[in-house]
A and B are shown apart, each in its own frame.
Chain A
Amino acid sequence: MGYLFDGDNWEWLWTENNASFLLEAFLVNVEIAVIAIVLALVLGLGLALASIAQARLVRLTAKGWVDVFRNLPLIFLILYLALSLPDSLKDFWAANAPGFLPEALRGKLVLAGIIGLVLYNSAVLAEIMRAGILSLDRGQREAAAALGLSYRQQMRHVLLPQGLRRMVPATVSQLITLNKDTTLVSIIAVQEVVRSGRVLSNTAGNPFVGGGDIAAPILQVMIFIGLLFVLVNLALSRLSRRLELREGRRTAGARRVSVSGIEDQAVAPT
């Protein structure tokens, strides 16, 4: 305990630009998360719609795809993609990545990280959305059909708005998981916050690498990084709870829907 709270071991945090070095790296995580969230939500909705499509072949293919990708470890996908994405694609990205992205996001390997995050999370989100749509009372669909709405109109105006709204808590939980999982790209050498933390704890206190004479023990550095994630994710889950309370008043009595393979279930307040 003495070691943990010893002022000397925290001095790195307010010397030179160490804190901003970590915060900038954390921003890379946030950017990766935002890109992956947008793409995963879009692809996930497409997969969810395909997995309840009327055409049998489309439905089975989508289901198979979703089941494979949500049952594989994310880090497995990222490492596989990092090893097997064609060099032409990686070089193309490194050469043509838009300039407004930070340097870490213009590297060769970041593509593997983002594609992995999107493949995995779109499959999980598709399953969440599918469960939400299927949890609706069949009367909803029958009534929409009886009113003469086409399949497309039924989806767009009746089923999706209700089904997706019901799954907001589960979706947000998964997005929090995604946010945490952005640290995994450090394993394929993308310069994000965990990797920066390791660099910091190696270089700080090492005058030969230009880190000054103040030690940054990895324990304290990692605790600081962990707190950053806890803060951001807590804010996200507070936000979702507020959405949930608001929805709760509108859609009282929604059933609890469970989706296998995600840690955090949508637990409806009863």
Chain B
Amino acid sequence: MFDILTEHFDAFSSGLWVTTRLVGLSLLIALVLGTLVAALRVAPSAWLQRLGGVYVEIFRNIPLLVLLFISFAGLRRAGVGIGAWTAGIASLGIYTSAYVAEALRSGVFSVSKGQREAALSLGFSQAETLRRIVLPQAFRTVIAPLGSITIAMIKNSAIVGASLLALPDLLKEARIVNSNTFQTTEAFFWAAVGYLLLTLSATVLFRTLEARLAIRR
């Protein structure tokens, strides 16, 4: 059991590092895009709201695997090929951003109306009110759902490596170790430990953030 870990430690650790980077970068994209889309969803114009709604419904309901095929093989065929990393991060980030946008939107609605009215009456513009008053509070009410989304994202990152993208993530490395040693259970066991390690640390991180920052309503 342990000798497969010690013998192939480099493979497992580099896989874990690739998965971590993949998740970190995609999370960044998901948060930025998700915030923008959430802003559209609560914009004062019905058309912008609808635009945000279409974005969310499309990317929340399309399988991540299909998105990966579109962004990698599809775009390559169209002549605007992007690399495996770019395609993987963009797909995972865009897919997750729809969930982030939905979480944030419900957070925005939980910020009391008085906050917004007070800001507007103090002379803040709509955009400033959203950026300085409403969104900061919304973020702090949706820390727990954002934690769930991040954990789901760690799990979804395995799809990126398992698709046609040749990203050597944790699962991919475990499969390579397996095909070299034929010790399937051992190889997958250590990859499982790696994934549980990641999801567990995300849980601890978000629980700490929640204890420090959350506004309970």
Contact = CB atoms under 8 A, between A and B. Distances in A.
B61 A180 contact: yes
Contacts of B163: 187
B63 A181 contact: yes
Interface string A46-70: 0000000000000000000000100
A75 interface: yes
B109 A270 contact: yes
Nearest to A215: B77
A76 B178 contact: no
Contacts of A218: 69, 73-74, 77
A187 B102 CA distance: 30
Contacts of A3: 78-79
Nearest to A233: B61
B63 A267 contact: no
Interface residues of B, number: 54
B184 A80 contact: yes
Given A76-B191, A218-B69, A84 B63 contact: no
A105 B66 CA distance: 21
Contact of A225 (B66, B147, B158): B66
A226 interface: yes
B162 A79 contact: yes
Contacts of A186: 65
Interface in B138-168: 144-145, 147-149, 151-159, 162-163
Interface string B99-136: 10011001001100000000000000000000000000
Interface in B161-190: 162-163, 171, 175, 178, 184-185, 188
A126 interface: no
A261 B47 CA distance: 33
A262 B152 contact: yes
A45 interface: no
Contact of A71 (B58, B65, B196): B196
B195 A226 contact: no
Contact of A229 (B63, B75, B102, B188): B63
B192 interface: yes
B79 to A, nearest CB: 7
Interface string B57-69: 1101111111101
Contacts of A74: 155, 158
A190 interface: no
A226 B62 contact: yes
B109 A75 contact: no
Interface in A146-183: 176, 180-181, 183
B61 A234 contact: yes
A130 to B, nearest CB: 15
A267 B107 CA distance: 10
Given A194-B69, A258-B144, A270-B109, A73 B64 contact: no
A111 B194 CA distance: 26
Interface in A237-267: 237, 258-265, 267
A180 B144 CA distance: 24
B56 to A, nearest CB: 11
A73 B156 contact: yes
Contacts of B61: 176, 180, 229-230, 233-234, 237
A262 B70 contact: no
B199 interface: yes
Contact of B145 (A4, A68, A83, A258): A258
Interface in A1-60: 3-4
A219 interface: yes
Given A71-B199, A222-B74, A270-B110, 14 more contacts: A84-B184, A84-B185, A176-B61, A184-B65, A184-B162, A194-B69, A219-B77, A223-B74, A226-B58, A233-B61, A258-B148, A263-B99, A264-B60, A264-B99
Interface of A: 3-4, 68, 71-76, 79-80, 83-84, 176, 180-181, 183-184, 186-187, 194, 197-198, 201, 217-220, 222-223, 225-226, 229-230, 233-234, 237, 258-265, 267, 270
29 contacts: A3-B78, A3-B79, A71-B196, A71-B199, A71-B200, A73-B157, A75-B159, A75-B171, A76-B188, A84-B185, A180-B63, A184-B162, A194-B65, A219-B74, A219-B75, A219-B78, A222-B73, A223-B74, A226-B67, A229-B62, A229-B66, A230-B61, A234-B57, A260-B144, A260-B148, A261-B152, A262-B148, A263-B152, A264-B99
